[in-house]
Amino acid sequence: MSSLLTNASAMTALQTLSLTNKNMATTQNRIATGERVSGASDNAAYWSIATTMRSDNKAISSVQDSLGLGAGKVDTAYTGMNAAIEVVDEIKQKLVSAIGASAGDREKIQTEVSEFLGQLAGIAQSANYAGSNLLANAGDATADLSIVSSYNRAADGTVTVEKLAVVAADSQLTAADGTFAGLLAGFDAMDDTGISAAADDAAIEAFLSTVETALTSMTEAASTLGASKKRIDMQADFTSKLSDAIERGVGQLVDADMNAESARLSALQTQQQLGIQALSIANQSSQNILSLFR
């Protein structure tokens, strides 16, 4: 049946062309954004998961920053502690050489040891990183180092933040004002550091015992700082890999396959051309009816 009022062929062709144009717009959006799920309307479940994981990944990025800052602080303290151990070793050698030495030699050794003590205090004061000093501090909890190490989301959606703690009192060499404290507290207990023209071998040996005790404690502190640094480095490496894994997981949910989208676009362009042609043919059917009345 031919009708002037209703062109069924044109309506069908128009519906097909509209669907093709809609699909083409979707494909072009995927190519432009690189995502097949760029909004909740594309896939609500995947969009929600991806949005949450991207937010968590930003938090993990902050964790990486915290670990980097913490690593710098601990590494600075570790370097300072090793330098301090070398200075105390020098003091130890001088004390040994002072035993049995003449009064004049002891005076010279005393001068050297005094210089070493000044260097020791200077090292502790200089081991500062971003306002934190694990070698020169108050020796209480206010100087402790707390490093954010992880951001975790449980299955029920609750989140927790884990921290690594480094106790400042375990590595304290001086107070904030530079006076010996903590591991070197005994260095302030003997006048003239035990070496003088009037001192006897017993006094020197007493200070040598103090030095030995300090060396043992400092070595343990250096080991603890080294272990903390290693743990921070390992956590930083894991956090970096975790961030990459989350990013890949989000990509698998929402990223568009550009090869597939390119092929789909080519096919849709062909369908669009055919749809326009079909609509053109359908619109000519009304003109064909006129020929019946000629």
Q: How confident is the model at residue 33 (pLDDT cuts 50, 70, 90)?
A: confident
Q: How far is CA 43 from CA 2, 4, 247, 250, 254, in A?
A: 44, 43, 18, 13, 9
- What is the reported pLDDT for 227? 95
Q: Indicate the residue type of 68.
A: G
3-class SS of residue 157: coil
Express each pLDDT in 16-31 by its tens digit: 888 888 888 888 888 8
Q: How confident is the model at residue 167 (pLDDT cuts 50, 70, 90)?
A: very high
Q: Over the chain, what is the mean pLDDT?
A: 88
- What is the reported pLDDT for 31? 86
- What is the reported pLDDT for 223? 96
3-class SS of residue 40: coil
Express each pLDDT in 229-271 by its tens digit: 999 999 999 999 999 999 999 999 888 888 888 888 888 888 8
- What is the reported pLDDT for 72? 95
Quick one: which of 226, 286, 246 has its CA closest to 63?
246
Q: Indicate the residue type of 291.
A: S
Q: Are strands 145-153 and 159-166 parallel, antiparallel or unpaired?
A: antiparallel
Q: How confident is the model at residue 6 (pLDDT cuts 50, 70, 90)?
A: low
Half-sphere exposure of 103 (CA within 13 A, CB side): 3
Tell me what percent of the residues of the chain surpass a pLDDT of 70. Answer: 91
| Length of the chain measured in residues | 294
